[in-house]
Amino acid sequence: MATQKEYDPYKQLDSQKRANKAYQSKTEYKAIKNYLGTPKGKEAGKRSKLKTKYGITLEEYKEKLLKQQHKCSICGIDEAEETSSLCVDHDHATGKVRDLLCSKCNVGLGMFKENIETLASAISYLNKHRENK
């Protein structure tokens, strides 16, 4: 004789809570926040972000970091001098990952909308107004 499974109305509610942080209780939220503050939690968060946003693994990120000797690919500042890790630079049109940049260089490219002509114009402008030292 087959036993009939009991209907558990809380099971569906529990899965909805996990899927939507707005429904999580304070204790669940605090537990997640505490976990994300641990080294293991930070690594898990970084792994997730790299995979979902850029399509690369943490290992691929670390390989790029070693290849670039922990320096920004544009200005050459060492990652140790920065307050955060180097950013993954990618082509916004294709999604292709390029190199790792410091946050200032990454934001700078973004502000110029990755437009080569505008960047060249900015270089010309700076050269035009460069004071002889």
d(CA 9, CA 56): 39
Q: Is residue 119 part of a domain?
A: yes
Mean pLDDT of the chain: 86
Domain harbouring 93, CATH code: 3.40.1800.10
pLDDT band, very low/low/confident/very high, at 34 (cuts 50, 70, 90): confident
Task: Tell me what pLDDT residue 27 has.
Answer: 74
Residue 25 has pLDDT above 90, yes or no: no
pLDDT band, very low/low/confident/very high, at 82 (cuts 50, 70, 90): very high
User: Hey, what amino acid is at 78?
Assistant: D
Instruction: Please state the domain count of the chain.
Output: 1
Residue 112 has pLDDT above 90, yes or no: yes
Two structure tokens written together for 11: 């099971």
Q: Is residue 60 part of a domain?
A: no
Task: Tell me what pLDDT residue 33 has.
Answer: 81
Task: Tell me what pLDDT residue 31 has.
Answer: 81
Q: Is residue 128 part of a domain?
A: yes
